[in-house]
């Protein structure tokens, strides 16, 4: 499975908080976003990823 670069627009304050949380847990932002997207997609679709 390959990786795809994306561009998104998010609330600045929320992103700063999210970044700090990721840093404090030694997690890359992109890895955490990928995990959250996968979990959301699995919970909201008939076909599981």
Domain locations in the chain as residue ranges: 12-42
Reported as a single tens digit per residue, the pLDDT across 2-40 is 999 999 999 999 999 999 999 999 999 999 999 999 999
More confident residue, 46 or 49: 46
H-type helices in the chain, by residue range? 12-24, 29-43
Q: What is the pTM of this model?
A: 0.78
* CA 20 from centre of chain: 14
Q: How many residues does the chain have?
A: 49
17 vs 21: CA distance, rounded Å: 6
pLDDT of residue 19: 97
């Amino acid at each position: 499975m390959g990786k795809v670069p994306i561009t998104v627009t998010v609330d600045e304050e929320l992103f700063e908080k999210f970044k700090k949380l990721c840093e404090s847990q030694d997690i890359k932002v992109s890895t955490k976003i990928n995990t959250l997207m996968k979990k959301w997609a699995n919970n909201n679709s008939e076909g599981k990823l």
